């Protein structure tokens, strides 16, 4: 993907690395960045052979994403905010539904829309200087990119309400305690090491099973879907793959499976 103004995109061995690249604005998510992310995730969806995950982080050592770009909201009205909401929801739903795992490597502020971006990812690794908050209430708003739903799903009603009603910033260690994140690491270098460990683990699994675990877990939160019934269908889908046969054969032969995604 070329011509990305606000994103740094790297095609690394086994995974894609995306950096939100507006360090002068603490990587605040303006509409242009959201549009670029939508295009990029569409591109990745069609070009992910040989990739086992996507890592999103922020440029610089201070901020993952310090929120939606507040400077764009000066003239916000009902009509424009609907468009903003839809764009953000489209992007974050896309991320949540990706067929390969998406990991947020939170390296500093994850505020408002930044916290919401991390919540849409499947795994969250945070550096010790990370700070999480949903401070929209300070602007007379509520989270507008799915945060009221995903934060509640992830940390439960009490903590979600506390975070959204107080706007307090919480440390990486508190976020771990709340189960908002999966791991805390010292700094960005250990963060990259940690996410690469995840990627190499995912590489050893069957891609169809990975995809169907993500789908099935997402179904739990979809009120229009019977997650149990869907699980049966997704299970049977896995049973029909060559990878399943390979998994069983490898177990019997006491060797590592060689999954091909078929
Ligand atoms: N938007 C725009 N610019 C931002 C920004 C943001 N969210 N956060 C920081 N910046 C800019 C600052 O304005 C400053 O720019 P200059 O003044 O140098 O031009 C530069 O980044 C460096 O920031 P500071 O000088 O403030 O840095 P400090 O270290 O002193 O402070 C800070 C760091 C993170 C504590 C502070 O920058 C801060 O409080 N930032 C704002 C945090 C925040 O409230 N974020 C927004 C959360 S609310 C919607 C959907 C979603 C949302 C809204 C609407 N619709 C669908 C309509 C979501 C809203 C949010 O995300």
Question: Are residues 100 and 172 located together in one domain of the fold?
Answer: yes
Q: In the predicted model, is pLDDT for residue 76 greater than 90?
A: no
Does residue 1 lie within any of the structural domains? no
Question: How many structural domains are present in the chain?
Answer: 2
Does residue 117 lie within any of the structural domains? yes
Question: Are residues 172 and 222 located together in one domain of the fold?
Answer: no
Question: Are residues 174 and 220 located together in one domain of the fold?
Answer: no
**Cβ(116) – ligand 1 distance below 6 Å:** no
Contacts (Cβ under 8 Å, ≥6 apart) of 196: 15
**Cβ(112) – ligand 1 distance below 6 Å:** yes
Residue 78 to residue 139: CA distance in whole angstroms: 16
Q: What is the pLDDT of residues 7-19, one digit of tens each?
A: 999 999 999 999 9
Predicted confidence at residue 31, as pLDDT, reads 95
Does residue 145 lie within any of the structural domains? yes
**Ligand 1 center to residue 112 CA distance, Å?**
9
**Cβ(146) – ligand 1 distance below 6 Å:** no
N- to C-terminal Cα separation, the chain: 27
Q: In the predicted model, is pLDDT for residue 2 greater than 90?
A: no
Q: Are 99 and 214 in contact (CB under 8 A)?
A: yes
Nearest C-alpha to atom 4 of ligand 1 is from which residue? 25
Predicted confidence at residue 103, as pLDDT, reads 99
16: buried, middle or exposed (CB in 10 Å: 19+, 13-18, 0-12)? buried
Nearest C-alpha to atom 49 of ligand 1 is from which residue? 144
Question: Are residues 130 and 222 located together in one domain of the fold?
Answer: no
Task: List the domain range (segments joined by +) for residue 147.
Answer: 7-202
Q: In the predicted model, is pLDDT for residue 26 greater than 90?
A: yes
- Confidence grade of residue 43 (pLDDT, cut at 50, 70, 90): very high
Question: Are residues 141 and 233 located together in one domain of the fold?
Answer: no
Question: Are residues 134 and 236 located together in one domain of the fold?
Answer: no
Question: Are residues 110 and 146 located together in one domain of the fold?
Answer: yes
Q: Which of 173, 172, 174 is nearest to 162 (CA)?
A: 174
Predicted confidence at residue 230, as pLDDT, reads 98
Q: In the predicted model, is pLDDT for residue 75 greater than 90?
A: no
In the chain, the percentage of residues whose pLDDT exceeds 70 is 100
**Cβ(113) – ligand 1 distance below 6 Å:** yes
Q: What is the pLDDT of residues 168-214, one digit of tens each?
A: 999 999 999 999 999 999 999 999 999 999 999 999 999 999 999 99
Q: Are 185 and 191 in contact (CB under 8 A)?
A: yes
Question: Are residues 161 and 242 located together in one domain of the fold?
Answer: no
- Confidence grade of residue 119 (pLDDT, cut at 50, 70, 90): very high
Q: Are 91 and 44 in contact (CB under 8 A)?
A: no
The CATH number assigned to the domain holding 64 equals 3.90.226.10
Mutual angle of helices 147-155 and 157-166, in 10-degree steps? 130
Question: Are residues 44 and 150 located together in one domain of the fold?
Answer: yes
Q: Which residues are the active-site residues?
A: 116, 136
Q: In the predicted model, is pLDDT for residue 1 greater than 90?
A: no
Q: How many CB atoms lie within 10 A of CB 239?
A: 9
Question: Are residues 26 and 132 located together in one domain of the fold?
Answer: yes
């Amino acid at each position: 993907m070329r011509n990305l103004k606000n994103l740094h995109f790297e095609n690394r061995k086994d995974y894609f690395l995306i950096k939100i690249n507006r360090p002068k604005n603490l990587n605040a998510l303006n509409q242009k960045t959201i549009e670029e992310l939508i295009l990029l995730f569409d591109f990745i969806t069609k070009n992910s052979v040989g990739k086992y995950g996507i890592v999103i982080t922020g440029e610089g050592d201070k901020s993952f994403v310090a929120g939606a770009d507040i400077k764009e909201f000066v003239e916000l009205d009902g009509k424009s905010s609907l468009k903003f909401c839809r764009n953000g929801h489209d992007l974050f739903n896309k991320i949540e539904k990706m067929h390969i795992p998406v990991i947020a490597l939170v390296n500093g502020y994850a505020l408002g829309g930044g916290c919401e971006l991390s919540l849409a990812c499947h795994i969250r690794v945070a550096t010790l200087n990370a700070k999480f908050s949903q401070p929209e209430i300070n602007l007379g708003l509520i989270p507008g990119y799915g945060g009221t739903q995903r934060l509640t799903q992830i940390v439960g009603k009490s903590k979600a309400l506390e975070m959204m009603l107080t706007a307090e910033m919480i440390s990486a260690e508190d976020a771990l305690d709340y189960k908002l994140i999966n791991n805390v690491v010292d700094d960005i270098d250990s963060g990259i090491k940690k996410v690469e460990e995840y990627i190499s683990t995912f590489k050893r699994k069957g891609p169809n099973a990975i995809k169907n675990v993500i789908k099935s877990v997402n179904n739990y939160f979809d009120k229009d879907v019977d997650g149990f019934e869907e699980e049966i269908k997704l299970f049977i889908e896995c049973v029909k793959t060559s990878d399943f046969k390979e998994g069983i054969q490898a177990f019997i032969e006491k060797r590592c499976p060689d999954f091909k995604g078929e």
